[in-house]
């Protein structure tokens, strides 16, 4: 009977511990990213009972009670709810955020309720810092994790420096049936010979032009002018002469400043089919001296298949801009398929077949046209921008922390790596929604969010507890009944012992 007391006591003990587990789950039903715990009751060892002679071939055993064999964690993902800030983070799949305590201890968590503290460090409510990999201004990762920190007092963070334009991609419609300059001597470069940078305007007011905007080194928006004038039609193909020029008053190139040549940057021709499609073009660059002299213009060198202009604003250094009007090439040839590298503008003369063209031309889908509508700028893209001030912060699905600025630019400054373990069941619960890595968890591996088996980072989102209240209430009732039944067994055994003691006294 003494064994009965012990067996009933172990049953009460195991059910009591099970109720502690259920109570923990219920207490954390609204805890961010809490993982439900499951209790597993196992039996204790059994002792052998001697069998009578008639049963000597059988083994007689009586159990000695029960115990909590294991408390497991249910690592299934909880549901999601909308957060209150961009720094509320959740993971759509497997993985953990790595955080560091104020005393430099490393922990892991799925609770992404982070906020920036007074020092600009991204921390959770217990002060643990979210770890990330720094990204420099060239987009290169440092490779070593550190606490994510954004110091808005740092000039490199609070503002984005301007960038001077180095590339212009323009798609224009050049149609113009009004021939302003009809120079029979130089029909393809008559605008050059009529240019006068000391006049306002430098060409006849009847000359059509289209503005191509760009940014100088100070981030100030400036404009290049694309002047155009029809030359002549040959074999159904329409030729336009064009000039790329800047405001002569802003031209600070020492050799041209204040002269008639001021403002001239590039000249050339474009050839279109009868349907207005661009067939070929050329570009000539100034070589110094009087630019109204066609001998001072030679075919431009191509950079990645594109011609470029070099200008200089007042108080600024030279600025080179590649110009893409819809096609690229590898060199220059004329209508007779003769290489003409080094040709000057005066060598073109009046013959159509002397007009240089790009070799092996390739065309953009939105190339310049000469359709019978008004001249217009159809599309303009350039890589420069003005200075910008910090506007907002974003965290994308890849876990990349991005800063956006008022100039429309964004810069990646951190990437949040995602940790995974060989065995999540080996993680140690450290409180405050944190886990510690142990040997039982196996190796920790870091990966990029959204790749392979790593979950995506969801900004402005929080993962909720995965506790099932209905299940916990049922478990609580079952444990209560089990505890009551074991206590009743203990009372019964106790009563039997008391009866046995009475018999002995009598």
- The predicted-structure confidence for 231-271, as pLDDT tens digits, reads as follows 888 888 899 999 999 999 999 999 999 999 999 999 999 99
Residue pair 74/38 in contact by the 8 Å Cβ criterion: yes
327: confidence class by pLDDT, cuts 50, 70, 90: very high
50: pLDDT strictly greater than 70: no
Residue pair 33/433 in contact by the 8 Å Cβ criterion: yes
Residue pair 45/69 in contact by the 8 Å Cβ criterion: no
Dihedrals phi, psi of 482, to nearest 5 degrees: -65, -40
Alpha-carbon gap, residue 342 to 312, rounded angstroms: 24
Q: What dihedral do alpha carbons 200, 204, 207, 209 form, nearest 10°?
A: -10
pLDDT given for residue 49 in this prediction: 66
Q: 20 Cβ partners below 8 Å, 6+ apart? A: none
Strands (DSSP E) contained in 257-368 are: 264-272, 278-281, 284-286, 297-299, 308-312, 318-324, 327-328, 332-333, 357-358, 362-363
Question: What tens digit of pLDDT does each residue of 406-445 get?
Answer: 999 999 999 999 999 999 999 999 999 999 999 999 999 9
| Helix or strand (DSSP H, E) at 159 | strand 159-160
Question: What tens digit of pLDDT does each residue of 373-418 get?
Answer: 888 898 999 999 999 999 999 999 999 999 999 999 999 999 999 9
| pTM assigned to the model | 0.75
Domain ranges across the chain: 2-76+466-505, 84-160+389-463, 167-382
């Amino acid at each position: 009977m003494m064994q009965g007391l012990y067996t009933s006591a172990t049953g009460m003990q195991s059910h009591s511990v099970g109720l502690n587990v259920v109570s923990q789950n219920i207490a954390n039903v609204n805890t961010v990213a809490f993982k439900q715990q499951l209790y597993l009751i196992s039996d204790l060892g059994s002792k052998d009972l001697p069998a009578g002679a008639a049963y000597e071939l059988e083994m007689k055993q009586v159990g000695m009670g029960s115990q909590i064999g294991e408390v497991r964690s249910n690592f299934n993902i909880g549901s999601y709810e909308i957060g209150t800030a961009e720094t509320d983070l959740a993971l759509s799949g497997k993985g953990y955020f790595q955080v560091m305590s104020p005393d430099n201890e490393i922990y892991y968590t799925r609770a992404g309720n982070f906020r920036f503290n007074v020092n600009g460090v991204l921390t959770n409510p217990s002060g643990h810092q979210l770890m990330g990999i720094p990204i420099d201004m060239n987009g290169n990762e440092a490779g070593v994790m550190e606490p994510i920190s954004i110091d808005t007092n740092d000039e490199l963070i609070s503002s984005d420096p301007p960038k001077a334009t180095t590339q212009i991609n323009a798609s224009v419609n050049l149609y113009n049936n009004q021939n302003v300059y009809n120079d029979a001597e130089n029909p393809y470069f008559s605008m050059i010979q009529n240019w006068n940078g000391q006049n306002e305007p430098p060409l006849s007011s009847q000359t059509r032009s289209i503005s191509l905007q760009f940014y100088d080194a100070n981030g100030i928006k400036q404009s290049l002018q694309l002047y155009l004038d029809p030359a002549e039609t040959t074999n159904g193909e329409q030729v336009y002469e064009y000039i790329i020029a800047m405001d002569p008053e802003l031209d600070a190139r020492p050799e041209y400043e204040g002269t008639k040549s001021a403002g001239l940057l590039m000249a050339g021709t474009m050839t279109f089919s009868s349907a207005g499609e661009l067939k070929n073009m050329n570009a000539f660059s100034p070589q110094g001296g009087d630019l109204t002299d066609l001998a001072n213009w030679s075919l431009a060198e191509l950079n990645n298949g594109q011609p470029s202009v070099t200008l200089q604003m007042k108080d600024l250094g030279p600025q080179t801009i590649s110009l893409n009007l819809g096609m690229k090439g590898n060199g220059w040839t004329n209508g007779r398929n003769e290489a003409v590298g080094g040709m000057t503008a005066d060598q073109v003369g009046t013959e159509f077949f002397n007009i240089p063209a790009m070799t092996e031309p390739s065309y953009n889908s939105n190339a310049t046209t000469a359709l019978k509508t008004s001249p217009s700028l159809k599309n303009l893209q350039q890589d420069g921008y003005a200075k910008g001030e910090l506007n907002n912060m974003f965290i994308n699905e890849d876990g990349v922390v991005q800063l956006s600025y008022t100039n429309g630019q964004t810069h990646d400054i951190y990437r949040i790596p995602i940790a995974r373990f060989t065995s999540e069941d080996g993680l140690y619960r450290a409180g405050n929604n944190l886990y510690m890595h142990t040997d039982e968890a196996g190796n920790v591996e870091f990966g990029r969010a959204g790749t392979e088996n790593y979950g995506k980072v969801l900004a402005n989102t929080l993962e909720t507890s995965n506790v099932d209240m209905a299940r916990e209430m049922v478990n609580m009732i079952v444990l209560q009944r089990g505890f009551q039944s074991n206590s009743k067994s203990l009372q019964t055994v106790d009563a039997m012992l008391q009866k046995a003691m009475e018999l002995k006294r009598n």
